[in-house]
Amino acid sequence: MAVPFFLSEKFTSNPTLVVMGFRRQLVYHLHFWACLAVAPLIVVQWLHQNYLLSALLFLFCANALLVIGFLRFRQHYFLRGWLFPLLAMVCAVYSTAINGHAGLYWAYPAITAVFFLMPLRDAALSNFVFLALMAVMAFYVFPLSEFWRISTSLGLTCLFALIFAWLVGRLQQEMTELATTDPLTGCRNRATLAESLTNQIKLCERYDRPSSILLLDLDHFKTINDQWGHHTGDTVLTGVARLLSNRLRDNDHIFRIGGEEFMVLLPETGLHEASILARELVKSVAAEPFQTGIRATISGGLTQACASETWSAWLKRADRALYKAKAGGRNRVVQLPGGSPPANTGLEGNS
């Protein structure tokens, strides 16, 4: 049996998509069970001749079905979930006005659900309005003593749900960051590599915007580990990562994709501009004393994205350029334009 779309993200290696997949599951199931719970009330309120409330509940269920359908077939959150709090608010307030406590009880699950269906700021804003309307309605419908109890209990429910949703969001953010960040160097890891490269290729196809990648590999890194120890090797790796990061622009991204191998993604950068930056990076690494008596050099393979190619083909071309740089003496950069023979743009070094 085919895997439903809202579960499929569980099987991806991208942690961001995994989080999005679980959020879609949450949205899907909350609307499903809310529709299932509210649907019988349409008939109940109609039989009690509360025709307006019955119509409002029907709209609530119709919105839930639309959200489910859009998620299932369009992979899109219908109206970003705004109709749920709006209809829940109107239904709960009006039902409290005509049914008393029987309508009030529905406000509690509605307030809680909103925090898991919308961004936190939007949910807090809509629930603030919700609480204000329910407080006004409770003041007119119930005795004063009950008004205070109702207002306080609804407020505490909203506060606890807000805190829980905020903590869950922070946890998701921190876990995503941990899953996408190399713990040693602080660079991005391979988890989002395919998505990042694919996005740049799409920009190249649609808007003819250039993008280049620079594959970098430390020369003779095994010798450093063997002679000075792995702790010193880690120090060199973190030093190289820090040096590269300090020389890159804010919209550039650096990935650690292997033991001593890094990849620099350079959006909005053609091959000529990228080659200038690449040479500067190679010179900077060669000139940097990472530790007393220890210097390192780095080799690079540079290439620009081509429209209609896959991210793996783009990366393999950079890898071929890196191999040529290694074979040509190291401490240099070789650029390899797509569909063209490689051109050596590097500098000789003491490798």
Q: What is the DSSP string of 115-162?
A: HHHS-HHHHHHHHHHHHHHHHHHHHHHS-HHHHHHHHHHHHHHHHHHH
Q: Which of 9, 205, 260, 309 is catalytic?
A: 260
Closest CA to 32 of 67, 57, 2, 7: 67
CB burial readout 30-66, b (16+ within 10 A) else e: bbeebbeebeebbeebeeeebeebbebbbebbebbee
CA–CA separation, 2 and 223 (whole Å):
50
CA–CA separation, 274 and 267 (whole Å):
10
Are 111 and 154 spatial neighbours (Cβ–Cβ below 8 Å)? yes
Rounded to 10 deg, the angle between the 193-207 and 311-327 helix axes is 110
260 is catalytic: yes
- Residue 185 burial (10 A CB sphere; 0-12, 13-18, 19+): buried
Q: Hey, which residues does 302 pair with through a beta bridge?
A: 214, 335
| 99 token code pair | 């049914």
Query: Phi and psi for 61 in degrees, rounded to 5?
Result: -70, -35
214 three-state secondary structure: strand
Are 305 and 268 spatial neighbours (Cβ–Cβ below 8 Å)? no
CA–CA separation, 312 and 320 (whole Å):
12
Residues assigned a catalytic role: 260
